[in-house]
Structure formats: structure tokens, C-alpha cells
Amino acid sequence: MSEYVLEMIDVSKPFPGVKALDHAQLKLRPGRVHALMGENGAGKSTLMKCMFGIYKMDQGQIRIDGQPVTVSDPMDALHKGIAMVHQELQPIPARTVGENIFLGRYPMKKLLGFIPVIDHKKMYEDTAGLLKKVRMHFDPRQKVGELSVSQMQSVEIAKAVSANCRVLILDEPTSSLTANEVDALFRIIEDLKAENVAIVYISHKMDEILRISDDVTIMRDGCYIGTWEAKELTTDKIITQMVGRELTNLYPKRMNVPGEVVFEVKNFTSINPRSFRNVSFELRKGEILGVGGLVGAQRTELMEGLFGIRSHTTGQIFYKGKELRIARPKDAIDQGIAMLTEDRRGSGIMGVLSVADNISISSLSKYLDYGFAINGAKVEKLVQDNVEKMNIKTPSSKTQIKSLSGGNQQKVLVGRWLANDPDVLILDELTRGIDVGAKYEIYCIIEELAREGKSIIMISSEMSELIGMSDRIMVMCDGRVTGFIDGQQATQENIMALATQFE
């Protein structure tokens, strides 16, 4: 028997204009957490999709227990003991927890002795057992659409466990979780390790990697760089291997100088009594205002209310002393406000459209000839200017955006809004799921925009990011603003103190 439960050897996978994998390797031992790290575009997700049968590798070999195998599709992968929890969750909201877990492989029984029907009783009993196993105690008959993102992720993990997998792939599993939920996930991982499951853990969060991992494999530009035991590594060593150079600073030097107050919110209250209420704050020209708080603090809901996505009962918004009337997003856009959504895939990118389409979609009205004909040359210049300014890595402007890495997708979305030349940018979880190198590039873009006089509101669940990038930090708890902290005085402790200040 091989010491490895699964091996991927010399795997290559090209796409038009780019070689996503170039002789990549990965060797997993049972009962260990194996972190897979690299910048966005390094090939991590592509390698996992080859393992899980979503992509067909053009070269290379997969071995299970030392024996060569072919994984033809995801169902075949499940049969071979390989399960995957994707970064972008895709549940069926209108169906129950049990139906989502057993989708495509429902337990069956015979009605009248010969008519095959779904055995709902067994399905929900098995679901209850699985939820207990992953330490999540909610109703198997509850509709998935009623769950939080973290609970949906737990359902996906339960689904993977239900397949009695020997290899479990977790792709950015904590991107939407609170600290307590991360602790709960890590307890589940320890339970699975005790059952000799090999776990592939993909994350850009260095503290998590060093805390949970036994082995670490690093990739760069589709190539295998090396594998180390986690105890041999430090954050600096990991970053150096990931980006091929040392990053002396995680955040750019701040050169922006906030000016006069240009944007003001007074007593803003949601139509939903359990959401944001009586929120007031000011935003200065050229200022980066960080917004902190725990999951459930209603930060996103507040910003969606300001942008016209959610309704409010009371409150006023002023820009340069003039009251704004915002009933829908178009009103906000027309008055120089832009909002980058936290859900990049769900409500940000248009995956089947090109990079050019995604950049230009919000500003096409500026490039019409005779009021109705799109000037293709002007649009292409706009796109190329943004590709260069944002340093977007794409084979061409015609490439479908869904084939780009998460970091480059995010740069496209920033470029989309900059094409409108907004005065106020609301950035919700701007760097979620993005590697340290791409983060630095995006931070530099944000700092430059602030230096140019743009006013920026930046929601982030990473306290180090808030501290590293903000001139001031507004902290929310349970729908209320609990305080403001000067960026120079901010610490994780005083942010957390305000973030847990319940009434």
C-alpha cells in the first residue's frame, strides 16, 4: 500500500491563451490537513477541479492508494471517495436541507411493492445524523434559502461527509464565517482527521493555514513550487514562495489626505425592524472609512439601503450639502455613488460575458453615437485603459470573465465602477477570497483613488485590513453604530469591544 491516499502527478491543463497547470503535483496522506496555497491564478482551483472530475487534464495521472485511476466526472469522484465543498456555494434555496444533501442519490423504497419512490423518512433521519456529526443542529426539513451563508456551508460539508469520502476538498471554507463558526469548522476537521480522512484546505488566511494544517503545498503560475510540513513555515516564508519575492509591507504607504465632509448620512433606519437603525456618519473627500463589525451587524444591509437596494423608513443622505433622493440603484449611480457587492459571483460578475462587457456595462450610455449606436472603438479604449490601470491578467478583453481568477474578477468590477467616474465608492468585502499579492495591488488602487479625491467606504471582516487601510473606522453591532476609531489608534481589541457592544 502507498503511504498516500491520493496522488496527482505531472498534471497539465491549458486554456486558450494561458497554461493553467504545468506539471503540477499534489500528494495527500490520510488523516492530515494539506493546505494548497498560491496567488489567484496559481492553478489551485483548476487542480482541484481536475481531481474532482470537473475538468479533464491534458496530461498527468491520478493515483488512489498507489493505483492509477481516471476520474470522469464529479459523480465518479464521489464514488471513488473524493468530495468537494466549493468556494461559491450553489444550493437549491427552495428545497429542504435533506433534499440538498441527498440531491441525485435519494434513498428509495418501493410503493405497493414495485413503484420506486423517495424514502423521505429515511432521508430526513440520515440528514439529522449527518448534521449531528458536523455539529450543526438545525431542522433537516428547513428550506435552505432560510439559512445563513455559514449554515449553507455546513450543509455542503454534511453532504460531503454523507458520501463517506476519503478525500475532502475545502475551497475557501471560512470566507463567510465568524470567528466562532471558524472554530466550529475546525472541530469538524479534527473529527474527520480522526477518521483518517485526507483534507485539502485552500485558503488565503495565513493564521488559519498555520493553525490547522499539517502539510503545505505552494503553487505559482500553474507550477508546483514545493511541499513543506506546516511547522517548518512562517507567514513570511509562505508569502515569499507564493509571490516569488518578499513583500516587506502588506499595505501601501498612505499618501491620501482627507478633506472636507462631502457625504453625510443622518438617522438612517431600515424598513425591517431587525436591521440597521438610526445610523449617522460623515465621509470626507479623499477619506477611506472602514466599516467593521461581526457577521449580523447589518453593515451590508446599511450600504445596500444607501445604494437604493433596500427600503428605509427614515433618514437623510446629503452630498456636498444637497439632499439626495435614492429609491433605486440607478438613482445612486446617477448621483455619483458606486457599490461593489460582497457576492462577486452572485450579484457582481456576469460570468458568460466577456471582460470587455463586464467593464463597460454600466457606462455604455456615455459611448453612443447619434444616441443609439455603441461606438465600439471608444468602448474598447475604455476597456484597455482599465485593463492596464488595474493590471488585469486576461488573455484578451474578449475572454469570458468566469475563467479569470477571483482577484482579476474583482479588478474588473472595480474597473466597471471607475468607468462611471463616481465620487463615492462603497466597497463590500473587497478582498474576500483574494491572495496576498493581488490584495496588495488592489490596496494600491484604493489608496491612489483616495489620493485623487474619491471618498471610499470599505466594509471588511478582516480587522488587520481595516487597521491597515482606514483613516477612520466605523464599528457596528446589531444594526447600530457603536463608535468611531481613528485609524492611527485602531487595534483589534478596541474594534472588537465596539463590535460586541449589544444593547
Question: If we measure between CA atoms, which residue out of 122, 121, 120, 118 comes closest to residue 108?
Answer: 118
Q: Determine, yes or no, domain membership for 341.
A: no
The C-alpha angle with vertex 279 and arms to 277 and 284, in degrees rounded to 5, equals 160
Q: Which amino acid is at 335?
A: Q
How many residues does this entry show for the chain? Answer: 503
Mean pLDDT of successive 10-residue stretches along the chain, which has 503 residues: 90 81 94 89 88 93 94 91 82 90 88 88 91 82 83 81 88 74 84 93 86 93 92 86 69 90 96 92 96 86 94 93 92 91 78 87 80 83 84 84 82 85 90 75 90 94 88 94 94 88 77
Same domain? For 316 and 444 the reply is: yes
Q: Determine, yes or no, domain membership for 385.
A: no
| Sheet strands side by side (includes 223-229) | 82-85, 167-171, 198-202, 33-37, 215-220, 223-229
How many separate domains does the chain show?
Answer: 2
Question: If we measure between CA atoms, which residue out of 265, 357, 243 comes closest to residue 316?
Answer: 265
pLDDT the model gives residue 178: 67
CATH number at 104 reads 3.40.50.300
Q: Determine, yes or no, domain membership for 353.
A: no
Give the domain range for residue 156: 6-243
Locate the DSSP E strands across 215-366. Answer: 215-220, 223-229, 261-270, 279-284, 288-292, 312-319, 322-324, 337-340
Q: Determine, yes or no, domain membership for 409.
A: no
Q: Determine, yes or no, domain membership for 318.
A: yes
Same domain? For 232 and 265 the reply is: no
Q: Give 360: exposed, middle or buried? Use CB within 10 Å, 0-12, 13-18, 19+.
A: buried
Same domain? For 169 and 313 the reply is: no
Same domain? For 206 and 283 the reply is: no
Cα→Cα distances 293→488, 497, 501, Å = 18, 10, 10
Q: Determine, yes or no, domain membership for 356.
A: no
Q: Determine, yes or no, domain membership for 253.
A: no
Q: Which amino acid is at 391?
A: N
Same domain? For 224 and 266 the reply is: no
Same domain? For 133 and 10 the reply is: yes
pLDDT the model gives residue 417: 85
Same domain? For 235 and 265 the reply is: no
Same domain? For 452 and 493 the reply is: yes
User: What DSSP element (H or E) covers 46?
Assistant: helix 44-51
User: How far apart are alpha carbons 487 and 473 in whole angstroms?
Assistant: 6
Same domain? For 447 and 473 the reply is: yes
Query: How many angstroms from the chain centroid is the CA of residue 368?
Result: 35
User: How far apart are alpha carbons 344 and 481 in whole angstroms?
Assistant: 26
344: CB partners within 8 A, 6+ apart = 406, 409, 410, 413, 432, 433
Q: Determine, yes or no, domain membership for 416.
A: no
User: How far apart are alpha carbons 455 and 424 in whole angstroms?
Assistant: 5
Same domain? For 329 and 477 the reply is: yes
